[in-house]
Structure 1
Amino acid sequence: MSSQERILIIFIRLLQGNKLSKIDLMEEFHKNGSTIQRDIAIIDELLHKLNSSLPASKFSPFKNLGELDRSHRGYYQLTDFSQSSYMDDYELFMIFKVLFASRGFHENELKTIYYKLFANVSNQYTMDRLLSNERFYYEGVPKQDLYPTIKLLLNAMLNQQKVEFSYTKNGETKIFKRVPMDIYFSDLYFFMISAKHTTKDDTDFDALNKFRINNMTHITILNEHESVEYANRFQGGVLRNQTALPFFGEPITLVIDFFYEPAYVLDRFPNSVIKRVNSDGSHRIEIPANNGYGVKMWLLEQGAHVKVISPKYIQNYLIDNMKKTLSYYDISINEEKPNLSQ
């Protein structure tokens, strides 16, 4: 083995995040300590040249490799590079938990992603023991792999091409032609988005602009291009902060009194603000939200924990729905004026 090959092997191992021992390198390559030290010095010089030649911009796609860490005598490691480039077992554990909780992947797809990530786990026995229950009982919502469809839609989106597809909703199937603007994930599903996040949502099947990808079939990319103006772009980050569920809507300021732990609201709507604590112990909370069905569903889920102050039409929506729900149990609400004589 030539010296160039030896140095390259050592350098690659350092880039892989390995902590190298001088003694182990001496034994492996049958070289004395001074030779290994010269190899490390050459790598050190190379790192300095590479790092100094990188663009200064923080948005540069090139990663600074850092310097060799010699804090442990007789050992060498690219500590800074490893920490910024490779996930440790704790970070991987968090990602696994989110993947299982999403239920957004077909079982075969989840297995593929799981084992690709699992190959990077250091203590695989412990990790497998921690995740075995959720892995065994995982039930994904999609009935088939989404990867081929998402790949096709992303290519169409990047090229601003229309796609034609069949879509089924509430037992009805129609043919659509749309330009994909984004792929959005929320509440179990991946969606193909083809309109701005403030458009009307789910009111007219023919005008639909949000499609569950697992319900799309016979997808074909058409040789039709259509650009989207910047002002009309879909903003998934804005939508996620405005609603609890994936429904479009116009921005509103929702004011509620919340009769439970306010963190539940503040965490769900990250831009919400507690305006005051009421005399009954409830919290008056102001929420930058939208007026879509997702916010209305969330409010209905809160039951007696919430009172809508404004907008009035949202308040009326809740009242009408609660009356309808009570009618299912043969309970009617008579809006009689209170008897003030008693």
Structure 2
Amino acid sequence: MSGSATRQLTIYQTLLTGAPVTKKDLVERFDVDERSIQRDISNIRNFIAEENLELELEYRRSTKAYQLVGKTQTFGKAHVLALVKILLASRAFNKDETEQLIELLLARLESGEQRELNWIIKNEQSNYLPLTSATELLKPLWDFSLYIVRSQAVDITYTKQRGEKVTRTIVPKAIIFSDYYFYVVSYNPKYDNDLFYRLDRIKEWHPSDEKIKVEHKDRYEDGKLRKKIQYMTPGDQKKIRFEFTGILEAALDRFPMSKVIENDGKKALLEVETIDQGAKMWLLSQGKRVKIVSPADFKNEMQAEIKAMLDNYVE
């Protein structure tokens, strides 16, 4: 392959990452004159046109930079800002990985926009406080995603809530992010059930020699699980009715599979389909704004929990 062809492929690959390029930088990088770089840019632009790619090579006079953008939609600074805000609010990644992810997102913008966003996020970024248990997540996140695609059984060393280390053989089926943590929903043959494993508590993992057949025709429906679970806590699926005097929108957002049976503007009667233990945690957090109507067994559980809480304050 000729030097010019290699150079053009390298430039095109850089552009595909979303990063802007300037003639000046390319001249210095490849040690060629500006006319050679201009021919490279023209050849790349012609290639995009001839292949009818949904891309456009834009030149921005303010920064004298070229950048690839989609014809129908551009990934711009507002999109990057939204993702960075979500990333910082999650607190899931350790400081090094958070800085790396932010740097990669900002690299998709031209230098002027990068400076603008750095100013907007600098206070929140400098005061970023990861979770106490925050560890490296990018590698296990990718590894377990591949295990899911391959239906691969995995041997893991797992640290339980109180620090006990156990070994398990599981078949990962889905990865879900909820309330600061990534969870691997996995089939455990020992219990013949799908269980939740916090990704940051999986300390060692490698493909297992054990062959485990998982009886499911379709991909695990993690989207449906999200509609029925409030916290990543196992439990039974239930249809619960409760009276609610708090902000109705908050309850409807918390329980996507819900309907309003009655609403007089002050008090609403809701019916929700949910997983009972996670639902109980949220309903208890609402205090006197919640009154369980049915089913009777769940109402009794709530009463017992509230009584136990009250007993903590009896001298």
The alignment's TM-score, normalised by the length of structure 1, stands at 0.70
1:94: which partner in 2? 82
User: Percent of aligned pairs with the same residue?
Assistant: 25
Following superposition, the deviation at residue 242 of structure 1 comes to 1.1
Please give the per-residue CA displacement for 1:22-51, whole angstroms capped at 9, x wherever unaligned: xxxxxx649xxxxx9xx98x9888656533
CA contact (8 A) 1:251 1:290 kept: yes
Whether the aligned pair in 2 keeps the contact of 1:239 and 1:248 (CA below 8 Å) is no
User: Of the candidates 162, 167, 180, which is equivalent to residue 188 of structure 1?
Assistant: 180
Cα gap change, 1:159 to 1:19, in 2 (>3 Å):
closer
Secondary structure at the aligned position of 1:100 is classed as helix
Report the counterpart of residue 288 of structure 1 in structure 2.
273
Cα RMSD between the aligned structures? 3.9
Of the three residues 236, 239, 242, the one matched with 2:222 is 236
- For residues 73-109 of structure 1, the C-alpha deviation after alignment (integer angstroms, 9 at most, x for no partner) is xxxx99972553x421011111011101111111111
Unmatched 5+ stretches in structure 2: 23-33, 59-65
| 1:153 aligned residue | 144
Answering whether residue 51 of structure 2 is matched by residue 50 of structure 1, we say yes
User: 1:136 matched to which residue of 2?
Assistant: 126
Give SS of 2:280's match: helix
CA distance in 2, matches of 1:44, 1:220: 45
> Partners in 1 of 2:93 and 2:21 — Cα distance?
36
Structure 1 unaligned runs (5+)?
A: 21-27, 31-35, 52-63, 70-76, 197-203, 332-342
Q: 8 Å contact 1:241–1:271 — kept in the other structure? A: yes
The structure carrying a bigger strand percent of its residues is 2
Opposite residue 157 of structure 2, the aligned amino acid is S
Residue in 2 that maps onto 1:304: 288
Larger radius of gyration: 1
Distance 1:67-1:166 versus aligned 2 partners, 3 A rule: closer
Within the alignment, does 1:163 sit opposite 2:154 as a pair? yes
Q: CA offset at residue 144 of structure 1?
A: 2.3
* Equivalent in the alignment of 2:70: 81
CA separation of 1:306 and 1:174: change in aligned 2, threshold 3 A: same
Equivalent pair of 1:195/1:232 in contact (CA under 8 Å)? no
In the alignment, which residue of structure 1 is the partner of 2:26?
none
From 88, 97, 115, the counterpart of 2:103: 115
Q: Could you tell me the TM-score, scaled by structure 2's length?
A: 0.76
